[in-house]
C-alpha cells in the first residue's frame, strides 16, 4: 500500500500579491564596428565621447557617440561611410541603441538608469528587476511582493522586515517570503541579505514490478509511446525500473490502482491532503512515468519504479520557492529512499538567465547530489527556452515529438508547439524529444483536469488523452529509471551523455529518446556538462568569480585585436560576454564583438553562435529591434558558411523579433530571406511556409489576436498561472 510523508509545513497567509529599449537600425554590413560601453563613459567627457575601438585603422572610420539622454539612460549614435561592403575581412555593424524614458529596461544596472522611487539607487545592483517592477507597480504600500532573499541571515532578515509566509531555503542558502512593497528597501538594507530575487510564478507544461510479456503488451497497449521510446524492449528483457525511485514535483498523485504499492505522497503543508491531487496534472504525469493497469492497457515507461509524489500546488498556484522546497526534500532524502531521478513538468512564467535563477541553482544542487533532473521544455514554440528550469544547461530538457499516430519512427517530427531554440546563455534546448501528442494517462474524476478536458478526450472512465511537453518529460524520467536499474553506477552526467549519445535523429530538431539503444550501448560511457559554469543565482556585480574578470577579458580581447589575432580575440570577448551575465547591455556588446572577431577569423559558425547570444541579450533587455538585427547578423554568418538551414532559421527568428517590434516591413523582408535560404538548402516545404508569411502574416491583428497561441493573457497570467486559459489551450493540449 502507498506510504505518506508529511514534510515540515510552510507558513502561509493570504495577501494582496502583486518600457522597452528602442533600437533604431540605420545600416549594417559585414564591416568593422566601433563600440562604446554604456557603463564605461570616460569621466572627462560628460557630454559625450567618440570612441574608436580595437585599432581598426585599416578600415573606414566608424564610431559610436555616447551622450546623456535627459536623465533617462544614454543615447547612442553611429557614423559610418556607405562604402562598407567591399572589404574581404568583414565585420558586423550593430544597430543603434536609444534608451528613452520608456526604457527603464528590466535588466542589469545599465538598463536600470532611472530607478523607481521605492528602491534606493545604491541598491539597484542587489535586487532582481522583477522585484523592482512588482514593488513599483504596487498600488499600496501594504501590497505584498513575493521574494527570495540570499544571505547568511536571510530568513531572519525577512522576518525582521515583517514578511509573511517565510520559508528557509537551505538548498540555495536563502529564504522566501511575502514582503510589503514599502519594506523592500528595509530588506536590502539588512546586513543578513546580499541579494533579492523574484519568487516567480510557475506553470505546468502540459495537460500539454514483474517483467511484462511483450506479446501481450503489443496487442493490449493503448499508447504508442512505450513502443516508440523502446520501453517494450526493456520490459521484455526484465527491466522495468524496479529498485529505482522517481520523484515527481507536481500537483500530487492520486492513490490509484495504477500505482498500487509503489506510491509515496509527500506534502509540505499540513492543510493539504497527503494522498490527493485536486488538479490532476501530477496523476497524469505519474501514469506516463510509471503507471500500470492490471489489464496491461495503460503502462508507463518504468512500471516497476517507486514513485514519490511531491505536492507543490496550493489553491491553483505554485511559486519558485515551493519548487525549491520540494527539491530540498529530494536532496536530503534521495539516498535513504533510493530516489535517482526527479521530474519537473513545469516552468517559471518569466524568462531568466540560468546564471541568476534561484530555481536553476536548486536543480543544479540536486544534480550534483547525484539525482538526474528531467524537465519539460514548455509549449511555447520557437525561441521560447529562457524559462527555468528548462533553460539550465546541466539538466535534461525534454521537448515533444509528434509520432503522426504511427509506431514507425521514420515519420516523427518535432511537435509544432514544443519549445525550442537557444537560451540567452547560448545553450541549445531541448536536449532531446519524446512523444507528446495524443498521450493517454490516468486522471481522477472531478479534478480540474478532468473537468476542463473536452468530452472527446475522455477515452474511457479514468483516462484522458492530452498533448504537451509535460507528457514527454516523464517518459525520459522513466527511461532514466530503466537505465539505472540496469547500470546503477552511472552518474547524472553519465546518464545524460548516454541518452544523448544513443538518441535517434529527428530532422531539424533535437534527437529523440531511444531506450533500446541506450540499454544496448557497450562502449565507454562519457560525461556530459564538461566545462559548464554552475549557477550562482547572483548577478555578475555580486558574483566575485565573474564581475571583475569580465572587463579584464575585454581588455585582453582588444590587445589580441591590435595584433589581428582574431580567433583569440573572439574567444576573449566570448568569455567577457559570459561573465557579464545579467548585465545584458554589456553582455550583448561583448557577444557582438566576439561574433565580429570570429567573422574576421572566418569561423562563421562561431560568429553565428555569438550573434544568437547577443539576440538573446537584446530580447531580455526588452529590445526586439536589437534582437532582430542580431538574428539577421547570425543568419548572414550562416550564409557565409553555406549553412542554409542555420541561416533560414535565424532569418525566421529575426522576422519574429521584428514583428514584436512592430516592424512589419522588416519582418516580411526577413521572411523572404528565410524562404530564399530554405530554397538553397533545399527544403521546399519550409521555403513555402516562410514564403507564405511574407505578404500578410505580420500584421498585428492577425498575429496577436485572442485566439492565437501566443495570447499574452493566456501565457503570462501570473495571478492564475494554472487556470484553464493559461495552461490548457484546447488547440494545443487537446488536439
CATH of the domain at 606: 1.25.40.10
pLDDT at 313: 83
For the residues 41-61, what does the mean pLDDT come to? 30
Does residue 600 register a pLDDT over 60? yes
Q: What is the CATH number of the domain that holds 268?
A: 3.40.50.200
| Cα–Cα distance, 545 to 158 (Å, whole number) | 27
530 tagged catalytic: no
pLDDT at 268: 86
Number of Cβ within 10 Å of residue 83's Cβ equals 10
Between these two residues, 222 and 283, which has the higher pLDDT value? 283
DSSP 347-363: EESS---GGG-HHHHHH
List, in sequence order, the alpha helices (H) in 221-273: 225-229, 231-236
For the residues 495-521, what does the mean pLDDT come to? 96
Q: Is residue 415 part of a domain?
A: yes
Catalytic site residue from 194, 198, 470, 623 = 470
| Cα–Cα distance, 385 to 657 (Å, whole number) | 15
Residues 561, 473: one domain? no
Q: Measure CA 508 to chain center.
A: 20
pLDDT at 5: 53
> Which residues have CB under 8 Å from 174's CB, separation 6+?
148, 149, 150, 151, 154, 358, 537
Q: Where are the beta strands (DSSP E) in 277-336?
A: 306-311
Catalytic site residue from 190, 229, 250, 493 = 250
Write b or e for each residue in 147-171: b if 16 or more Cβ atoms lie within 10 A of its Cβ, otherwise e: bbbbbebbbbbbeebebbbbbbbeb
pLDDT at 276: 78
pLDDT at 238: 96
Q: Is residue 186 part of a domain?
A: no
CA dihedral 207→652→104→712, nearest 10 degrees, is -30
Residues 398, 475: one domain? yes
Q: What percent of the chain has pLDDT over 70?
A: 72
Backbone angles phi, psi at 634, to 5 degrees: -60, -40
Does residue 205 register a pLDDT over 70? yes
Number of Cβ within 10 Å of residue 715's Cβ equals 18
Q: Is residue 670 part of a domain?
A: yes
**Helix, strand, coil percent content, the chain, rounded in steps of 5:** 40, 15, 45
Q: What percent of the chain has pLDDT over 90?
A: 49
Residues 403, 482: one domain? yes
For the residues 200-216, what does the mean pLDDT come to? 55
Peptide bond connecting 589 to the previous residue in cis, omega within 30 degrees of 0 = no
pLDDT at 523: 92
Q: Do the Cβ atoms of 724 and 452 come closer than 8 Å? A: yes
Q: Do the Cβ atoms of 216 and 456 come closer than 8 Å? A: no
Give the dihedral sign, CA 560/562/565/571. positive
Q: Do the Cβ atoms of 223 and 439 come closer than 8 Å? A: yes
Q: Is residue 440 part of a domain?
A: yes
Residues 441, 588: one domain? no
Q: Is residue 680 part of a domain?
A: yes
Residues 269, 405: one domain? yes
pLDDT at 542: 57
pLDDT at 100: 30
458 tagged catalytic: no
pLDDT in tens, 235-292: 999 999 999 999 999 999 999 999 999 999 998 877 666 667 889 999 999 999 999 9
| Cα–Cα distance, 601 to 637 (Å, whole number) | 12
Cell reading at 94: 550593430
Catalytic site residue from 269, 281, 311, 619 = 281
For the residues 290-307, what does the mean pLDDT come to? 94
R_g of the chain, CA atoms, integer Å: 26
| Residue 213 pLDDT class (50, 70, 90 cuts) | very low
Does residue 468 register a pLDDT over 80? yes
Does residue 702 register a pLDDT over 60? no
DSSP 163-221: -EEEEEEGGGTEEEEEEEGGGHHHHHHSTT-SEEEE--BEEES----PPPPHHHHHHH-
Q: What angle do CA 580, 118, 113 make, to 5 degrees?
A: 40
Residues 447, 373: one domain? yes
Q: Is residue 44 part of a domain?
A: no
pLDDT at 372: 98
Q: Is residue 360 part of a domain?
A: yes
pLDDT at 612: 92
pLDDT at 622: 81
The mean predicted confidence, pLDDT, of the chain is 77
Cell reading at 707: 485566439
pLDDT at 139: 62
Count of structural domains, the chain: 2
250 tagged catalytic: yes
pLDDT at 275: 62
Q: Is residue 6 part of a domain?
A: no
Q: What angle do CA 623, 196, 329 make, to 5 degrees?
A: 110
Predicted TM-score (pTM) of the model is 0.62
Residues 448, 588: one domain? no
For the residues 207-224, what does the mean pLDDT come to? 50
Does residue 353 register a pLDDT over 80? yes
For the residues 601-607, what does the mean pLDDT come to? 93
pLDDT at 335: 95
| Cα–Cα distance, 348 to 320 (Å, whole number) | 7
Q: What angle do CA 686, 687, 690 make, to 5 degrees?
A: 85
Q: Residue 633: helix, strand or coil by DSSP? A: helix
Helix 547-562 × helix 584-600 angle, to 10°: 30
Does residue 84 register a pLDDT over 60? no
| Cα–Cα distance, 614 to 569 (Å, whole number) | 17
Residues 474, 576: one domain? no
| Residue 575 pLDDT class (50, 70, 90 cuts) | confident
CA distances from 454 to 208, 449, 450, 730 (A): 14, 10, 9, 8
For the residues 675-699, what does the mean pLDDT come to? 83
pLDDT in tens, 105-162: 333 333 333 333 456 655 677 888 888 888 887 766 678 999 999 887 899 999 999 9
| Domain housing 614 | 542-705
Residues 596, 551: one domain? yes
| Residue 494 pLDDT class (50, 70, 90 cuts) | very high
Residues 589, 676: one domain? yes
Beta bridge partners of 22: 98
| Cα–Cα distance, 716 to 202 (Å, whole number) | 10
- Farthest CA pair distance, the chain: 81
pLDDT at 538: 73
| Cα–Cα distance, 261 to 242 (Å, whole number) | 12
pLDDT at 544: 53
> Edge to edge, what strands does the sheet with 195-198 contain?
164-169, 174-180, 144-150, 195-198
pLDDT at 531: 80
Between these two residues, 694 and 334, which has the higher pLDDT value? 334
| Residue 48 pLDDT class (50, 70, 90 cuts) | very low
Q: Residue 675: helix, strand or coil by DSSP? A: helix
Residues 243, 282: one domain? yes
pLDDT at 371: 98
pLDDT in tens, 309-318: 999 987 668 8
Residues 627, 509: one domain? no
Does residue 711 register a pLDDT over 70? no
Pairing of strands 439-442, 263-267: unpaired
DSSP state of 503: P
pLDDT at 273: 63
| Cα–Cα distance, 385 to 362 (Å, whole number) | 18
Amino acid at each position: 500500500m502507498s506510504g505518506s510523508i508529511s514534510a515540515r509545513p510552510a507558513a502561509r497567509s493570504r495577501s494582496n500579491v502583486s518600457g522597452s529599449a528602442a533600437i533604431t537600425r540605420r545600416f549594417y554590413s559585414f564591416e568593422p564596428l566601433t563600440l562604446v560601453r554604456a557603463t564605461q563613459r570616460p569621466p572627462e567627457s560628460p557630454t559625450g565621447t567618440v570612441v574608436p575601438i580595437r585599432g581598426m585603422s585599416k578600415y573606414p572610420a566608424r564610431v559610436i557617440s555616447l551622450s546623456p539622454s535627459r536623465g533617462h539612460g544614454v543615447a547612442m549614435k553611429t557614423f559610418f561611410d556607405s562604402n562598407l561592403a567591399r572589404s574581404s575581412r568583414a565585420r558586423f555593424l550593430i544597430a543603434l541603441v536609444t534608451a528613452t524614458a520608456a526604457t527603464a529596461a528590466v535588466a542589469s544596472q545599465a538598463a536600470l538608469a532611472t530607478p523607481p522611487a521605492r528602491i534606493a539607487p545604491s541598491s539597484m545592483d542587489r535586487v532582481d528587476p522583477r522585484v523592482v517592477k512588482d514593488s513599483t507597480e504596487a498600488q499600496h504600500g501594504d501590497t505584498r511582493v513575493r521574494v527570495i532573499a540570499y544571505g547568511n541571515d536571510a530568513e531572519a532578515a525577512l522576518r525582521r522586515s515583517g514578511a509573511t509566509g517565510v520559508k528557509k531555503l537551505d538548498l540555495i542558502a536563502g529564504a522566501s517570503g511575502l514582503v510589503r512593497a514599502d519594506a523592500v528597501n528595509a530588506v536590502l538594507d539588512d546586513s543578513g541579505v546580499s541579494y533579492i530575487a523574484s519568487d516567480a510564478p510557475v506553470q505546468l507544461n502540459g495537460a500539454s514490478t514483474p517483467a511484462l510479456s511483450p506479446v501481450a503488451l503489443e496487442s493490449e497497449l493503448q499508447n504508442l509511446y512505450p513502443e516508440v521510446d523502446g520501453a517494450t524492449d526493456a520490459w521484455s528483457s526484465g527491466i522495468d525500473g524496479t529498485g529505482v525511485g522517481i520523484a515527481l514535483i507536481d500537483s500530487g498523485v492520486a492513490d490509484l490502482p495504477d500505482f498500487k504499492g509503489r506510491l509515496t505522497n509527500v506534502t509540505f503543508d499540513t492543510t493539504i491532503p497527503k494522498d490527493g491531487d485536486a488538479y490532476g496534472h501530477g496523476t497524469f504525469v505519474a501514469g506516463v512515468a510509471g503507471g500500470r493497469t492490471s489489464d496491461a492497457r495503460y503502462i508507463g515507461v518504468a512500471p516497476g519504479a517507486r514513485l514519490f509524489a511531491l505536492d507543490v500546488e496550493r489553491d491553483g498556484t505554485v511559486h519558485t520557492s515551493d519548487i525549491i522546497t520540494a527539491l530540498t526534500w529530494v536532496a536530503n532524502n534521495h539516498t535513504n529512499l533510493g530516489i535517482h531521478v526527479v521530474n519537473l513538468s513545469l516552468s517559471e512564467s518569466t524568462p531568466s538567465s540560468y546564471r541568476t535563477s534561484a530555481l536553476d541553482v536548486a536543480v543544479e544542487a540536486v544534480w550534483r547530489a547525484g539525482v538526474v533532473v528531467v524537465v519539460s521544455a514548455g509549449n511555447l514554440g520557437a525561441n521560447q527556452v529562457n524559462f527555468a528550469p528548462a533553460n539550465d544547461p546541466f539538466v535534461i530538457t525534454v521537448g515533444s515529438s509528434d509520432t503522426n499516430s504511427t509506431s514507425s519512427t521514420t515519420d516523427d517530427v518535432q511537435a509544432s508547439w514544443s519549445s525550442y531554440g537557444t537560451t540567452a546563455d547560448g545553450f541549445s534546448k531541448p536536449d532531446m524529444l519524446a512523444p507528446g501528442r495524443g498521450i493517454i494517462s490516468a486522471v481522477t474524476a472531478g479534478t480540474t483536469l478532468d473537468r476542463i478536458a473536452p468530452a472527446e478526450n475522455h477515452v474511457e472512465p479514468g483516462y484522458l488523452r492530452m498533448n504537451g511537453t509535460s507528457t514527454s518529460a516523464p517518459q525520459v524520467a522513466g527511461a532514466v529509471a530503466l537505465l539505472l536499474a540496469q547500470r546503477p553506477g552511472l552518474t547524472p552526467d553519465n546518464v545524460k551523455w548516454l541518452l544523448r549519445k544513443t538518441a535517434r535523429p529527428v530532422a531539424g530538431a533535437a534527437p529523440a529518446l531511444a531506450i533500446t539503444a541506450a540499454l544496448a550501448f557497450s562502449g565507454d560511457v562519457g560525461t556530459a556538462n564538461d566545462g559548464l559554469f554552475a549557477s550562482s543565482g547572483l548577478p555578475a556585480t555580486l558574483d566575485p568569480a565573474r564581475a571583475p574578470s569580465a572587463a579584464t577579458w575585454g581588455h585582453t580581447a582588444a590587445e589580441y585585436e591590435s595584433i589581428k589575432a582574431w580567433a583569440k580575440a573572439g574567444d576573449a570577448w566570448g568569455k567577457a560576454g559570459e561573465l557579464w551575465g545579467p548585465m545584458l547591455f554589456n553582455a550583448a556588446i561583448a557577444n557582438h564583438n566576439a561574433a565580429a572577431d570570429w567573422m574576421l577569423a572566418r569561423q562563421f559558425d562561431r560568429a553565428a553562435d555569438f550573434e544568437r547570444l547577443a539576440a538573446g541579450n537584446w530580447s531580455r533587455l526588452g529590445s526586439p529591434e536589437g534582437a532582430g538585427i542580431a538574428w539577421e547578423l547570425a543568419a548572414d554568418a550562416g550564409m557565409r558558411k553555406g549553412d542554409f538551414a542555420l541561416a533560414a532559421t535565424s532569418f525566421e527568428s529575426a522576422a519574429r523579433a521584428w514583428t514584436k517590434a512592430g516592424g512589419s516591413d522588416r519582418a516580411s523582408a526577413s521572411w523572404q530571406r528565410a524562404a530564399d535560404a530554405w530554397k538553397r538548402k533545399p527544403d521546399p516545404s519550409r521555403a513555402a511556409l516562410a514564403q507564405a508569411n511574407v505578404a500578410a502574416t505580420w500584421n498585428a491583428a492577425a498575429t496577436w489576436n485572442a485566439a492565437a497561441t501566443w495570447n499574452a493573457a493566456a501565457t503570462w497570467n501570473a495571478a492564475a498561472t494554472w487556470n484553464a486559459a493559461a495552461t490548457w489551450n484546447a488547440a494545443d493540449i487537446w488536439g
